[in-house]
Amino acid sequence: MARNLPNNRPPIWLLLKQVLGAPTAAPTKPWSVGLLAIAVAGLVSGVLLIYSGLRIGADVSAYRAALSCRSPSDALTAEHCIYTGPATVTGSTRQQKLSVDLVFSSLTGRDFTATFATNREPPEDSISTGSSVTAELWDGHITKFAAVGTVDDPDYFAMNNLVPGIIFALVSLLATWWGIGFVRIAWRTPPQSAVT
């Protein structure tokens, strides 16, 4: 004879409803508004991470598929080709990062600036004024200088923004839903009178 098992546990759908559904109680109004603001800020950050991941992925794909430019001027505005040629250093500055100004002999009248990460800089003798170096130009940006990648080099772009952005956005979306519920409940709940 089969025994009847105790049925004192709520079904799984009820647990999910309690987790994902609208809240039934809320903290005070300031706390509710603050929680909602944090959730919305997290949602915006997640969306920006997703956009950044998609944009970086598109840039990297275009850069790696680019061919050599027929004309140096093609590399000023186009992503489909890369120009590599001799350039002359016209100056350099260092604030938080090293920046080197240069001109290409085949692109008269145009000045360019190459900026480098602090842990990835070219040799000192290549950045002195008047030095002649080989530089790479893609989509109007200096991507390599003396065989060193700049901050505009897609080979060094962070490629891990998309998945964390999606997760962050989904979690923040759930938090925003709860935050809206908190605010609605907090504003519907009448203030408690002080006990005398």
Q: Is 39 exposed, middle or buried (0-12, 13-18, 19+ CB in 10 A)?
A: buried
Confidence band of 192 (pLDDT split at 50, 70, 90): low
Which two three-digit tokens encode residue 184? 């609605």
76 vs 88 pLDDT, higher one:
88
Mean pLDDT of 134-150: 92
Mean pLDDT of 67-91: 87
Residue pair 86/134 in contact (Cβ under 8 Å)? The answer is yes
pLDDT on residue 20:
54
CA gap 39, 137 in Å, rounded: 41
Which two three-digit tokens encode residue 106? 């085949």
Residue pair 87/133 in contact (Cβ under 8 Å)? The answer is yes
Confidence band of 13 (pLDDT split at 50, 70, 90): very low
Q: Which of 99-103, 170-174, 180-184, 187-191 has the lowest mean pLDDT?
A: 187-191
Which two three-digit tokens encode residue 7? 């049925």
Residue pair 66/146 in contact (Cβ under 8 Å)? The answer is no
Predicted structure pTM score: 0.59
Q: What is the mean pLDDT of the chain?
A: 79
Mean pLDDT of 121-140: 92
CA gap 56, 50 in Å, rounded: 10
Q: Determine the Cα angle at 131 with ends 127 and 134, to 5°.
A: 85
Residue pair 22/181 in contact (Cβ under 8 Å)? The answer is yes
**Highest mean pLDDT: which range of 2-6, 16-20, 158-162, 167-171:** 167-171
Which two three-digit tokens encode residue 68? 């050599």
Residue 134 has a CB neighbour count (10 Å cut-off) of 13
Q: Is 179 exposed, middle or buried (0-12, 13-18, 19+ CB in 10 A)?
A: buried
pLDDT on residue 10:
47
The radius of gyration computed from the CA coordinates of the chain, to the nearest angstrom, equals 28
**Is domain 66-156 classified as CATH 2.40.50?**
yes
The answer on pLDDT for 149 being more than 70 is: yes
CA gap 100, 5 in Å, rounded: 77
